[in-house]
Amino acid sequence: METIRNRPAETAVKGRNRARHLPSRRQLAGLFFVLPAVTFTLLFFIIPLLMTIWMSLHDWPLIGTPSFIGSGNYDTLAADRQFWTSLGFTIRYTLLVTPPIFILAFVLALLVNLPLRGVGLFRTAYFIPVVIGLGASSLLWVWLLNDRVGPFNTILRQVNLLQGSLVWLGSFDTALFAIIVSVVWKTVGFTMVLLLTGMQAIPQEIYQAAMVDGASYLGRLRHITLPLLRPTIALALVLSVIGSFLAFDQFYIMTRGGPRNQTITVVYWIFNNSFTYFKMGYGAALSLVLMGFLVILSMLQLRLLHREISY
């Protein structure tokens, strides 16, 4: 009789233990909400990354049977003089194009953040080049810089800054200068919007308290705006550097890697190996090395710019 009386209590305890191990409705809802993001990351990043790693270990022609060669592609990469030349040029291009973008974007963000009438029109005007595709903007600049029908040479001749015609894309220095100007024009609006968003997120009470204490405009800019913009600057810097390292369209359209292969970027070299020479395995190895380089560079930037600010 005593055993029969204890059975309901044991059943209740087992039921509570079973319910404790089952996921709650809230946990199931959380899993359901993250499932699309996990699926997207798995399909479009993890699986392609694993396939690229596998491909980099093979001699993988576009048509034909791949053969396993182990670290053969990486050995070839270490002795590839054009790859290291392209990497050096890409670093040089990144160092030259990033400061103008940041300085000009910061000045524009300060200007369009002023409470002036019609400032929205200027914000739109500065942002319009961002919505143009990089390929279309590169073709536009090829026409603008044309030595026969382009307006730049005509304007320079009219103001007596140029005699005759200048083939902008015919020499390394002028071609690099022209591409940097075109990229700054194309991308400065995006960085401006990022910095403007960060500026508008700073509480106005901090500025008002500083003004009560007698802080000047430059003082507020130095001691309030710049420190509190540090996370936004880090984000914009990482995006700008990654975009510069992945530069391809403007060089492919405007210079075709010339003159004398001096403007071939790393991505351009990956494209040539993969889709011109059909060495897909070697192209995959180049891509993985570039990805590792970008990961290390981004971590360094975030570590240098990440610092807690408290007021």
What's the token pair of residue 207?
């500025």
Position 14 scores a pLDDT of 61
What's the token pair of residue 120?
């929205």
Position 6 scores a pLDDT of 58
Run of H or E residues at 104: helix 81-112
User: 97 or 23: which carries more pLDDT confidence?
Assistant: 97
- For CA atoms 77, 80, 84, 89, the dihedral sign is negative
pLDDT (tens digit per residue) in 121-180: 999 999 999 999 999 999 999 999 998 888 999 999 888 888 888 899 989 999 999 999
CB atoms within 10 A of CB 112: 22
Average pLDDT over all residues of the chain:
88
In this predicted structure, the answer to whether residue 19 has a pLDDT above a threshold of 60 is: no
Position 61 scores a pLDDT of 86
pLDDT (tens digit per residue) in 79-125: 999 999 999 999 999 999 999 999 999 999 999 998 888 888 999 99
Residues 6+ apart with CB under 8 A from 106: 195
Position 118 scores a pLDDT of 84
Position 147 scores a pLDDT of 87
Average pLDDT over residues 246-261: 91
How far does the chain reach from its first CA to its final CA, in angstroms? 72
